[in-house]
Structure 1
Amino acid sequence: MLIYKIFRADEWAALQQAGETTGAPVDLADGFVHFSTAEQAAETAAKHFAGQEGLMLLACEAETMGAALRWEVSRGGAKFPHLFRALRLSEVVWAEPLPLMDGAHRFPERMV
């Protein structure tokens, strides 16, 4: 199952350069890397990245993350994937820009 991480361009560049990351400032503050499922990603973008340009959407395979990936109840009582270790660049299956169009982020068709 693919899970998704939204990064700003500089955060994506840092992951590419270092080979791993403990995430964005919100991830560092919470102590884990926040992910969303395909069904949760648009709401995550709207809630936490509204109006922001230059975003990247990363897809990662949940099964390869082992016991460090935990599903925890979060927004609206839904379970969200949280990674309790650094995200490795090798775990990124694909990454694509998440363009802002008419005030909303446009997600890739491959997510459907």
Structure 2
Amino acid sequence: MSSIIYKIVPAVLWQDARKGGDFKGASIDLSDGFIHLSTADQARETAARYFAGQDGLLLIAVDGERLGDKLVFEPSRGGALFPHLYGPLPFEAVAWEKPLPLGADGAHVFPELDR
């Protein structure tokens, strides 16, 4: 089983965070008190539910093993366990970042995901 988890984020917000040294989260993360992440099996539904029709997004792959005990899997949609990060996301934990474009059908086109 892969330790890779994912964050969908507007590219502008991510680039600003890179200049600042770490990623503290998007507005929903800041208001909820943790950074929302998804497993490979959850990422597509997260994109469809919370980012429908949004362009200019990045998919960030994060090595969950590098996050330590600040990464907690907690029940959310339908009781599924979602990864939540209680603290900033260190860039050293990022495995890769790729554009998450919209396809002709309006759905996001995902790269191959580690499962």
Both proteins in one fold, TM over 0.5: yes
In the other structure, the counterpart of 2:27 is 25
Residues 89-100 of structure 1 mapped to structure 2, 5 A cutoff = 89-100=91-102
| CA-atom RMSD in angstroms | 1.1
- Tell me the TM-score normalized by structure 1: 0.96
The runs of at least 4 consecutive aligned structure 1 residues that moved more than 3 Å come to none
Alignment equivalent of 1:68, drawn from 45, 67, 70: 70
In the other structure, the counterpart of 1:108 is 111
Gapped regions of structure 2 (runs ≥ 5): none
- Tell me the TM-score normalized by structure 2: 0.93
Gapped regions of structure 1 (runs ≥ 5): none
**Which secondary structure state, in structure 1, belongs to the residue aligned with residue 18 of structure 2?**
helix
